[in-house]
Structure 1
Amino acid sequence: MSDVADADFLLDQRGTGRELGAWVADVAFGREGRSVAFALSDGSIHLASPANHAGEWQKLEAHDGAVLNMVPDSADGLLSGGDDGKLLHIAPDGSTEVVSDFGMMKWVAHLAAHSSGLRAVAVGKNVHLLDGKGAKLKTLGPHPSTVGGVAIDAKGKRLFASHYNGVSAWFVGAKEDKPRVLEWKGSHHAIAVSPDGQNVVTGMQENALHGWRLTDSQHMRMSGYPTKTHSLSFTAKGRWLASSGADSVVLWPFFGGGPMGKAPTEIAGGDQVICTRVACHPQHEVVVAGFQDGLVLMAEIASGKVVPVAAPGRGAVSALAWNATGTHLAFGTETGFGGLLDLAKR
């Protein structure tokens, strides 16, 4: 990464940044393209407009406690979950609505939403499914332990929940709710599903990834990380899985029989600074990564070319997201800095 130290940074040329005052726990763009929000550990949410990133950012006093997770909602706006037990819908204009209240003693820790209207909310050992209007469809669980992550496949047909000793795969529309359990000993948390729905991968407690190929139940073990992997992201066509947890961006090939028996590709390493977040571009084989020192960079996977996005020095990158078309990028750090960039062609 030392080769980018003296380069111009895209944040200075194409974006803006704000000191938000608390740890940025998550960031997400609305599917409608008119909203982006930074969720903070103090319960506030800062809402901005991608079309006018240099304009005023609206501060919302959203949760009574930390925001734990935020995702694009099924239609427009965003969903946020907090340690106050509430699931909120944040509209593009900043108005908020309580979709569900699970109680003060419950943490709304993990969320997923699909354009079909399906919403998945992990609270403790259960995953609650809601429709686009907030009506409860069903509850999946209890799982063997507190759910560590949730993901919905691209078609909106299956939900995957990670937990102790594996992953439970549920068919959302099944008349009888009985999961296919993908077993592997240990604690599983971060989870990602490939775009074709054929591969599921989790980050584990013991500094490794584990995956399952659903067509034949083949196990895939990806190890060698110096720290735990908190962030996983498949490229648009599912050829590569980007991951945090090493002093480089680690990319596992999911083609040509990989990842088993294949070495990963590593990009932007060498300075012994751990990568903390990754996010693949929604259309191209490009990945953006954030590091422990605050550096954010963008890399083209095929060529390995690296473009610096934001300079180090603002705290570890804790949140990273593209908008649906890949024209805007947002990131946040543990010290409370939020950055928003317009990368559309000019």
Structure 2
Amino acid sequence: MSTSLNEADALLQTRGVSRNLEAWVMGAAFCRTGGTAAFALGDGSLHIAEVAAPEAEWQGIAAHEGSTRALVADCADGYLTGGDDGRLLRTAPDGTGTELGSYGAMKWVENLAAHPAGVRLAAIGRAVHVLDGKGRLLKSLAHPSTVTGVALDGKGKRIVASHYNGASLWYVAAKEDKPRLLEWKGSHIGVAIHPDGTHVVTAMQEASLHGWRLEDGQHMRMSGYPGKTRSMGFTQSGRFLATAGSEAVVLWPFFGGGPMGKAPTELAGGDEALVSRVACHPKHEVVAAGFNDGLVLMVEVTSGKVVPVAAPGRGPISALAWNPSGTHLAFGTEWGFCGVVNLSRQ
């Protein structure tokens, strides 16, 4: 895929707003109503942009001492952040902050998840702390080694956590907390669960994926990546798993018996830059992709049509997120460049 710099930057220039915040963007997210977008930075700050007022000043908040390690939309309207100061914070869209947990200065909080049903997860060391919508600690789930990723299923009822030699599957409301262990030797560095709760997939240290079909425990091996997969997600229908780590957006089929025995679809490739982040549209079979040269684009899964969003040259894409209705896309780079693009029909 090739396009001119002017073409690649057209949507950002005509329908977007951007800022250079001068620190590594660790995460991007929209709140549940979509009214604001937030960017978490490596200098410990959190920046909030009003979507309806793109030219307004972005609110900057000193959230953490050291680095802000993780950012997700909270179960209510607002954001959760974790830092290398060992603190879990909730920040309302107006910038008001509330500490939900403090786990010690040497305990990095770098894996978070939340669900509108009122479930919050914070992984610190070997433990996953489960909090309710009021911030109360419900339980702490112990794992055999450091937790490297957490996720909730589509209903917010099951928790999956990746760690060394596999993943653990838990039920939020279980009276007796006994996990189902999904075992596979090696270092697992991230995890995703199918929206319907049928499959779990982990990213491996050796630049491959491993999966389990939960119905019968069938293993799935997905390999061939030139780089590590540090970003992945299921498309809106659950038919495909979109992944980073290659020169194209790699989509594994999760229908018709796949992905076992089926080749993946590769879209929006052709250049030497690797995909560093993917984000699946919440309403349609569309995937946004960010590359390590700074290019941001969208690709329609069924047709393969590619639409550039932002040109390369501003640093590797390190954060990418859709708002809940899929009308706005936010992205950030390792160099501190951030953008929010309005993709709604006008």
Indicate yes or no: 2:250 matched with 1:250: yes
Indicate yes or no: 2:95 matched with 1:98: no
Q: Which residue in the other structure is 1:216 paired with?
A: 216
Deviation digits for residues 250-276 of structure 1 (CA, Å, limit 9, x no counterpart)? 111111111111111111111111100
Please give the alpha-carbon distance, in whole angstroms, between the structure 2 residues aligned to 1:217 and 1:204: 18
Q: 1:329 to 1:293 in 2, by over 3 A?
A: same
Please give the alpha-carbon distance, in whole angstroms, between the structure 2 residues aligned to 1:252 and 1:28: 25
Q: Which residue in the other structure is 1:207 paired with?
A: 207
Matches within 5 A, 1:21-60: 21-60=22-61
Residue identity matched to 1:274: L
Aligned length in residues: 345
Q: Which residue in the other structure is 1:189 paired with?
A: 189
Q: Secondary structure at the match of 2:52?
A: helix
* Structure 1 residue 60, shift from structure 2 partner: 0.5
Indicate yes or no: 2:71 matched with 1:70: yes
Q: Which residue in the other structure is 1:227 paired with?
A: 227
Q: Secondary structure at the match of 2:269?
A: coil
% same residue:
63
Deviation digits for residues 156-196 of structure 1 (CA, Å, limit 9, x no counterpart)? 11100000000100011111111000011111122111111
* Structure 1 residue 54, shift from structure 2 partner: 2.3
Please give the alpha-carbon distance, in whole angstroms, between the structure 2 residues aligned to 1:73 and 1:6: 36
RMSD of equivalent CA atoms:
1.0
Please give the alpha-carbon distance, in whole angstroms, between the structure 2 residues aligned to 1:50 and 1:196: 31
Deviation digits for residues 204-260 of structure 1 (CA, Å, limit 9, x no counterpart)? 001100111111111111000011100001101100110000011111111111111
Please give the alpha-carbon distance, in whole angstroms, between the structure 2 residues aligned to 1:216 and 1:316: 39
- Residue segments in structure 1 that go unaligned for 5+ positions in a row: none
Residue identity matched to 1:283: K
Please give the alpha-carbon distance, in whole angstroms, between the structure 2 residues aligned to 1:20 and 1:78: 19
Judge conservation of contact 1:15–1:54 (CA < 8 Å) in 2.
no
TM-score by length of 1: 0.98
* Structure 1 residue 301, shift from structure 2 partner: 0.8
Deviation digits for residues 62-94 of structure 1 (CA, Å, limit 9, x no counterpart)? 100101111010111000000000011110111
Moved beyond 6 Å, runs of 4+? none
- Residue segments in structure 2 that go unaligned for 5+ positions in a row: none
Judge conservation of contact 1:53–1:341 (CA < 8 Å) in 2.
no
Please give the alpha-carbon distance, in whole angstroms, between the structure 2 residues aligned to 1:177 and 1:276: 35
Please give the alpha-carbon distance, in whole angstroms, between the structure 2 residues aligned to 1:324 and 1:202: 25
Q: Which residue in the other structure is 1:61 paired with?
A: 62
Please give the alpha-carbon distance, in whole angstroms, between the structure 2 residues aligned to 1:63 and 1:31: 22
Q: Secondary structure at the match of 2:307?
A: strand
Please give the alpha-carbon distance, in whole angstroms, between the structure 2 residues aligned to 1:249 and 1:215: 28
Matches within 5 A, 1:1-346: 1-3=1-3, 5=5, 7-8=7-8, 9-141=10-142, 143-346=143-346
Please give the alpha-carbon distance, in whole angstroms, between the structure 2 residues aligned to 1:213 and 1:53: 44
Residue identity matched to 2:293: D
Please give the alpha-carbon distance, in whole angstroms, between the structure 2 residues aligned to 1:35 and 1:133: 21
* Structure 1 residue 101, shift from structure 2 partner: 0.8
